[in-house]
Structure 1
Amino acid sequence: MLTFDMTVIEKENSLPGSSDWQLTRMRLDKSAYRSPFIEGYCSRQSVKAGEVLDIFVSTNPAARFKIEIFRTGYYGGKGARLMTELGPFEGTAQPTPEVGEKRLRECRWQKTTSITIPQDWLSGVYLGRLTNLPNNKQGTENPEPYWQSYIVFIVTDDRKADILLQCSDNTWQAYNKWPDDYSLYTDPKGNQGSSADVSFDRPYAKYAQIYDNPQSVGSGEWLCFEFPMAYWLEQHGYDVSYCSNSDMITPDRGLKCKAFISIGHDEYWDIRQHDSVAKMRDEGVNLLFLSGNSVCWVTPFSANAEGAPNRRIFRGGPYGGDYTYAVNREKRYGPYPHRGPDEGYLMGVRNISPVNGGGDWICQKPEHWVFDGTGMKKGDSVPGLIGWEYHGDAPSDLPGLEILAGGTCWQSGVNPQQWQAVIFNGPKGNFVFNASTIWWAQGMSKPPGHMPVWSHYSRPHGPDKRVQQITANLLKRALM
């Protein structure tokens, strides 16, 4: 592991963590997606210290409530630190928006409160826990219940951090079914077309794709697929900063780091994100795609009804250029207004069909420095680490391309497809690595609040020292 002077991350994580930050009392409505009893959203995906964040909360029926804001991290293994408590507030039922053009459900709720982000709030992913405050008297035989849900936002910054971890929040929103099955995937015209919009101006429903866990309500996909990576980085004192997908529409933030990490399920990218990360690669930033199904759909940002930028997205068309998968998607689901370049030249591998399934992560080139200290031999595998979506078909003309791992994925025993994990050279002594799985973070740690997953009768087995060592090797080289 690398040895650092005391980093801001180490200083932050030396502060006392909280033993009570998770949701313990959840209640969903009959749709099984939302919690109208208490739910909310924020005015921006990310915010910097000194900037104002507006918070919108609805309680139905009306109820008093409080907001506790936690920064997620390591904190001695507790996973989060209480930063502040807001309220109590008198909550009211705010309107469920009508179905707009392109099936848009966009809230225009009355603001509950605003917070100016304190200067000492370090970059990170923050969860606001919303909790009803029932008027229970001591000794009451049948006390009123209280309910909880989250809001989520990212504090970003402009400092020269070693590592920039990009949250995959475009994808969180693409799959968000709030209020009742209104995601990019639930349009009656088809689940792969471009005829639906989604808005960040709405709560995150319970994550509803490959597993069922009400404790995710309001948190997007952070606790499911991304937090284990951040927890491990902060545990070991790496100098990491955080950003949203929307922060990457220009390369400015990324050019201040040595390593850029795409994490989890990073499917939806505005084309400006692609161009920004390509410029970062060309300027010598190391790119680590510890993710799957990444850079799959061109997802243009647009403003909301009030003109706030980057608050709506839609599926504009596939990445892939003239690659077969993109061409076939156009024929099957198009026409689309956009076509992105071949993502294989950015990531080293492509989105392929079928893109989902499960399998073992199998070593193919154990002599490579990536495997130093792992003890892995050719054919050794990390069980269940591939899934539930992945990459393959590496372009053969990338300079220095090496296939480090590969094998077969299966959709519950059928529809086999070949996946590949690769590394190739950047132009300035840097490199691009692609782990080719959404589940890489599951091999890094299992923090409090993390929700293990499975799909296609396959699942990762949890933290694995070999996955941790591979990641440490990559970061050691990237941060030289």
Structure 2
Amino acid sequence: MSMLAAICVVAVLVSPTPGDRGSVITEENARPGAVDWQLTRVRPDADGFRSPWIEGYCSKQSVAAGESIDLMVSTDPPRPFTVEVFRMGYYGGLGARLMTTMGPLPGETQPVPEPGPKDVHECQWEPSASLTIPDEWVSGVYLGRLTTVPEAEDEPYWQSYVVFIVRDDRPADILFQCSDNTWQAYNRWPNDFSVYTHPKGNQGPWAAVSFDRPYGREAQFEGVVNDPLTFGSGEFLPFEFPLAYWLEQHGYDVTYCSNSDMLSPDRGLECKAFLSVGHDEYWDIRQFRSVEAMRDAGVDLLFLSGNSVCWVSPYSDSPDGRPNRVFFRGGPYGGDNHYAVNRERDHGPFPERGPDEGLLMGARNVEPVNGGGDWIITQPDHWIFEGTGVEAGDRIPGLIGWEYHGAPADLPGLEVVAGGTAWVGGVTPQQWTATIYPGPKGNFVFNAATIFWAQGLSSPPGHVLPWSHWSRPHGPDTRVQRITKNLLDRAIEGGD
């Protein structure tokens, strides 16, 4: 028997003044925040990859106002449960706003799927609820907090999240692309199954992953991010939320999308700046061509990320025809660079070889690509450092990690604005570089060259600092904040 419960949520939002870009985010964040939105009681199973007591996933990565999204939830043992849906933002420093509550809903234990082709684990669970997105819900990252309802006074409750993105098509200053392909690539639900865990090896094309499964604990980052209170939220809370929180705190006109929303350039061409955020490793080749087209049309690109555009990840449909729900490692980006050639030699054959990502980002993926180090200024007179007071050689401690970029591309006007050494395993040196180069229409492409850039912007509720190879960032840093402001102001206002 299906558990489908159709729920339509109504909310009210004062419409912004036409042309008053930024008022959407400013007005949204003026609304009351939620004191209680984090997970309180979380229980991993013996293997540490999942929480079978309550877990779930959504039928789509992103959804627009007026569309519906299904929530698939399993409880073992069967228990009724509630869902509280929160939009993540600033909200006076609280970090989230409660949008709606559903339930109690009947819970049942749903089956763990048998492995399919390429070891894919693809759930076909019955929907527990269907949520129609009201027109008034502002684009953003939304977390649904799942909580079991105890059947006795002495029985504990358990919790986890589901995550989805509300997108829109309005013109905006900033397009924040969530790195949800990479969240899913590293997801090892139910028991050590990701693109990295196939018996043939962890770098080949043999494994596929599906968005039709819960996000388990991010245990693959043992020693980087290992916070069980992020269950079900992918990598958003550790790597991306500090940037979203900071942008909304300062009233930037930002809208959000998933990786799968970037298969054409249309959405990005409505915005002034495109942000690649956090750990943005897996891109369908259509994403690459879209962002390339945006640059060529004059959109500013900010890679506030590391290990980005590393692997071609071709999408395929779910068994019931929903698009872009499955992908695998189709081949390396890198063109004819030695690291791409070596990956083909050592881990292929692959069906695809992506172009040289350095010609888009300015700096490239390097091998080895993980380590930790300080972000060291090399060109203090560059406009991105205006108002920071930095001098050559100044360090922002621990900001390089978990992974980074280096090997600058040979592009006209490209400048290395920061660079230095990342220490692999804490002892083996590898060089990284942060770059900026001019686009064809007075725009620019900036590459911060680290997954950890957002750690220097804010420390919102529910956030735990990551660390990497015996190095860690220190949290909010006024220099990182001012550099980011300079970049965004130039993108939004224009200038030479």
TM-score in terms of structure 1 length: 0.97
Q: Of the candidates 439, 442, 455, which is equivalent to residue 468 of structure 2?
A: 455
Does residue 464 (structure 1) correspond to residue 477 (structure 2)? The answer is yes
In the other structure, the counterpart of 1:140 is: none
Does residue 439 (structure 1) correspond to residue 452 (structure 2)? The answer is yes
User: Structure 1: 5+ residue runs without aligned partners?
Assistant: 138-142
Greater mean alpha carbon deviation, residues 202-211 or residues 435-444: 202-211
Does residue 52 (structure 1) correspond to residue 68 (structure 2)? The answer is yes
In the other structure, the counterpart of 1:173 is: 184
Does residue 191 (structure 1) correspond to residue 202 (structure 2)? The answer is yes
Q: Of the candidates 209, 223, 226, which is equivalent to residue 237 of structure 2?
A: 223
In the other structure, the counterpart of 1:372 is: 386
- Secondary structure at the aligned position of 2:269 is classed as helix
State the 4+ residue runs in structure 1 displaced beyond 6 angstroms.
Answer: none
Q: Counterparts of 1:413 and 1:115 in 2: how far apart (Å)?
A: 47
In the other structure, the counterpart of 1:37 is: 53
Q: Aligned pairs, how many? A: 471
**Aligned partners of 1:354 and 1:415 also within 8 Å:** no
Partner AA of 2:96 in structure 1? A
**Aligned partners of 2:22 and 2:253 also within 8 Å:** no
Greater mean alpha carbon deviation, residues 410-419 or residues 272-281: 410-419
Partner AA of 2:403 in structure 1? E
Q: Counterparts of 2:351 and 2:325 in 1: how far apart (Å)?
A: 19
**Aligned partners of 2:247 and 2:254 also within 8 Å:** yes
In the other structure, the counterpart of 2:135 is: 119
**Aligned partners of 2:21 and 2:172 also within 8 Å:** no
Q: CA deviation at 1:414?
A: 2.8
In the other structure, the counterpart of 2:163 is: 152
Q: CA deviation at 1:207?
A: 0.9
Does residue 347 (structure 1) correspond to residue 358 (structure 2)? The answer is no
In the other structure, the counterpart of 1:84 is: 100
In the other structure, the counterpart of 1:323 is: 337
- Secondary structure at the aligned position of 1:150 is classed as strand
Q: Counterparts of 2:275 and 2:21 in 1: how far apart (Å)?
A: 22
In the other structure, the counterpart of 2:9 is: none
Q: Counterparts of 2:387 and 2:345 in 1: how far apart (Å)?
A: 47
Does residue 133 (structure 1) correspond to residue 133 (structure 2)? The answer is no
In the other structure, the counterpart of 2:415 is: 402
- Secondary structure at the aligned position of 1:329 is classed as helix
Q: Counterparts of 1:242 and 1:145 in 2: how far apart (Å)?
A: 36
- Secondary structure at the aligned position of 1:442 is classed as helix
Partner AA of 1:132 in structure 2? T
**Aligned partners of 2:88 and 2:97 also within 8 Å:** yes
- Secondary structure at the aligned position of 1:306 is classed as coil
Q: CA deviation at 1:412?
A: 2.6
Q: Counterparts of 2:230 and 2:194 in 1: how far apart (Å)?
A: 17
Q: CA deviation at 1:450?
A: 1.1
Q: CA deviation at 1:413?
A: 3.0
The 1:6/1:342 distance shift into structure 2, 3 A limit, reads closer
Q: Counterparts of 1:5 and 1:156 in 2: how far apart (Å)?
A: 16
Partner AA of 2:294 in structure 1? M
The CA RMSD measured in Å over matched residues stands at 0.8
- Secondary structure at the aligned position of 2:239 is classed as helix
Identity of aligned residues (%): 67
TM-score in terms of structure 2 length: 0.94
Q: Counterparts of 2:226 and 2:322 in 1: how far apart (Å)?
A: 33
Q: CA deviation at 1:334?
A: 0.9
In the other structure, the counterpart of 2:26 is: 10
Q: Counterparts of 1:453 and 1:477 in 2: how far apart (Å)?
A: 30
Equivalent residues in 2 for 1:18-29, closer than 5 Å: 18-29=34-45
In the other structure, the counterpart of 2:8 is: none
1:8-41, Cα deviation, whole Å (9 max, x unpaired): 0000000000010000000111111100000000
Q: Counterparts of 2:191 and 2:90 in 1: how far apart (Å)?
A: 34
User: Structure 2: 5+ residue runs without aligned partners?
Assistant: 1-19
1:280-303, Cα deviation, whole Å (9 max, x unpaired): 000000000000000000000100
- Secondary structure at the aligned position of 1:251 is classed as coil
In the other structure, the counterpart of 2:12 is: none
Q: Of the candidates 316, 321, 324, which is equivalent to residue 302 of structure 1?
A: 316
1:28-58, Cα deviation, whole Å (9 max, x unpaired): 1111110000000000000000001011000
Does residue 414 (structure 1) correspond to residue 430 (structure 2)? The answer is no
1:419-458, Cα deviation, whole Å (9 max, x unpaired): 0000000000000000000000000000001121111001
In the other structure, the counterpart of 1:387 is: 401
Q: Counterparts of 1:36 and 1:206 in 2: how far apart (Å)?
A: 12
Q: CA deviation at 1:216?
A: 1.1
Q: Counterparts of 2:170 and 2:416 in 1: how far apart (Å)?
A: 34
